[in-house]
Structure 1
Amino acid sequence: MASNLLSVVYASAPSGQVLLPTLDFYSDGFDERIRVVQGFEDVTVTLPDGERATFEACGIEIALPKHDSSGQQAIQFGLVNVMGEVSRIIDQTHKAGYPVRMTYRLYLSTNLEEPAELPMHMIVKDVAMQGGMAKITASYNDMIGTAWPRERYTSQFSPGLIYL
């Protein structure tokens, strides 16, 4: 990972270095991936598995989650989506019962061969249209919705329970 270079960019903002946040949507409910990058030009990058992928330029507003001990970590972002294509596809897939997954990767404009930090893998929780923007919320660490203990004591798990 290019984390040392990323630390330099965050600390000093050298000229010629641009952060390129990318969003990669995928699901069993639609055939092609929806790949967008924040900016004015399409960008071709190398994914961590070695595949080359082109991300379509898009206006993106991103609010990254805090790194803390709260129960549910969520990322919120808006995609400029005047035609409503992204919102429509994700909403239809979500309503059909397929989970829509999303990967957030951050690249540096000077190194498109690897992400500058570890990717975040999330599940889309909510999609709403507001004006010409698709407002999307995704979660990657749902501690509140996680059962504890993970194993539930049911009659299938513990057959003796039916005698209580």
Structure 2
Amino acid sequence: MPDSTLSQALREAYASVPEGEVVFHTLELWHPDFTAPVRVVRDFQDLQARLEPAAPRQPGALVDFVAFAFDAALPEVSPDASPTLTLEMDNAGPELMTQIERAAISTQPVEVIYRQYLASDLEAPQNDPPLTLQVLSIRATPLRVTVRCGFADLANRRFPARSYTAAEFPGLIA
């Protein structure tokens, strides 16, 4: 099933692989206990790119993504399964491990935003809206951090989310 969030330029880049065109895969990790968002790009060099106008932090700003080695197994675009994104990071370093440790002792979820940029157009991500997920589990060893991300637990949410009580809606009582 095609991904309707991808721009036409990114679809063409994936289909025809024009010479010199590079797709940059970026991640933004955010948690209320972080001092700042952690932004990384899967590349050998840092990247400066513009966030989308509806970004939750610094909308439309030109931000830096730090070069970092990670692998992302993207979720399938399918109506059948609950999509999950698996991230594997080698040699995470003390900065990232400190942030992970802060988040591990909190009850708030870690938010992960996955954006794709084209080297020819760093003015906006090519997947709009970017994929926003929550960290479901983290497994860390001295050499590797594996993060499994997915959507919030929608199956166990109350529906409707609002409680219609007699105090708030007295017309419900006959």
Q: TM-score band, normalised by the shorter chain?
A: 0.7 to 0.9
SS of equivalent to 1:121: strand
Post-superposition shift, 1:20?
0.5
- Which residue matches 2:121? 111
Please give the TM-score of this superposition, normalised by the length of structure 2: 0.78
Residues 1-150 of structure 1: matches in 2 within 5 Å? 3-48=7-52, 49-70=59-80, 72-118=82-128, 119-140=130-151, 142-150=153-161
Q: Distance in 2 between matches of 1:127 and 1:155?
A: 43
- Larger relative strand fraction: 1
Distance 1:114-1:82 versus aligned 2 partners, 3 A rule: closer
Q: Distance in 1 between matches of 2:168 and 2:104?
A: 31
Deviations 1:56-94 (A, max 9, x none): 001111111112234532211112234354244223313
Unaligned runs of 5+ in 2: 53-58
Aligned amino acid, residue 54 of structure 1: D
Contact 1:43–1:56 under 8 Å retained in 2 = yes
Percent identical across equivalent pairs? 26
SS of equivalent to 2:148: strand
Q: Distance in 2 between matches of 1:108 and 1:123?
A: 25
Name the count of aligned residue pairs: 159
Unaligned runs of 5+ in 1: 160-164
- Which residue matches 1:162? none
- Report the more deviating stretch, 38-47 or 118-127: 118-127
Q: Distance in 2 between matches of 1:90 and 1:154?
A: 41
Q: Distance in 1 between matches of 2:148 and 2:28?
A: 14
Post-superposition shift, 1:152?
6.0
Q: Distance in 2 between matches of 1:55 and 1:91?
A: 21
- Report the more deviating stretch, 147-156 or 4-13: 147-156
Contact 2:29–2:38 under 8 Å retained in 1 = yes
Deviations 1:101-142 (A, max 9, x none): 111111011111111112011111211124522111111253
Distance 1:93-1:2 versus aligned 2 partners, 3 A rule: closer
- Which residue matches 2:55? none
Post-superposition shift, 1:143?
3.3
Aligned amino acid, residue 106 of structure 1: Q
Please give the TM-score of this superposition, normalised by the length of structure 1: 0.82
Q: Give the root-mean-square deviation of aligned CA atoms.
A: 2.6
